[in-house]
Amino acid sequence: MTIALATSILKHLLTTATNQVGGTVANNANAQNLFSDITTAQWTAGKANPTQVFHYMPNATFATFDQFVGLTSKYVVDHDSMPTLSARYKNTTSDGLNYSMNVIHGNDTNPYVDTYWTSSADGAILVETVNNSAGGVYVTNDLGNGTTVSGSAAGTTHAVYNMVEKLNKITQLGGSFDTAIETASLGPVVLRGEALYQKDAMSPIVTRKDSTGVDLDHGFLVNALQMQKGDRFKYVLGADMTALTNMMVSVQFTQDRNLDYVNTGSSSETNWKYIADQATMHLTNNLNKAEKNKE
pLDDT in tens, 140-192: 888 876 666 766 555 678 889 999 999 999 999 999 999 998 888 878 899 99
Tell me the one-letter amino acid at 109.
T
Give the pairing type, strands 272-275 and 247-258: unpaired
Cα–Cα nearest to 20, from 53, 56, 59:
53
Residue numbers of the chain with a pLDDT score lower than 50: 17-30
Contacts of 265 (CB under 8 A, 6+ apart): 209, 271, 272, 273
pLDDT at site 2: 61
Q: How far apart are CA 103 and CA 93, in angstroms?
A: 21
Cα–Cα nearest to 17, from 61, 76, 48:
61
pLDDT at site 80: 87
* CB-neighbour burial class of residue 27 (10 A; exposed 0-12, middle 13-18, buried 19+): exposed
pLDDT at site 22: 43
**What predicted TM-score, i.e. pTM, was given to this entire model?**
0.81
Q: Are 149 and 155 in contact (CB under 8 A)?
A: yes
pLDDT at site 45: 78
pLDDT at site 24: 42
Q: Are 55 and 47 in contact (CB under 8 A)?
A: yes
Cα–Cα nearest to 56, from 218, 246, 244, 264:
218
At residue 284, the 3 state secondary structure works out as helix
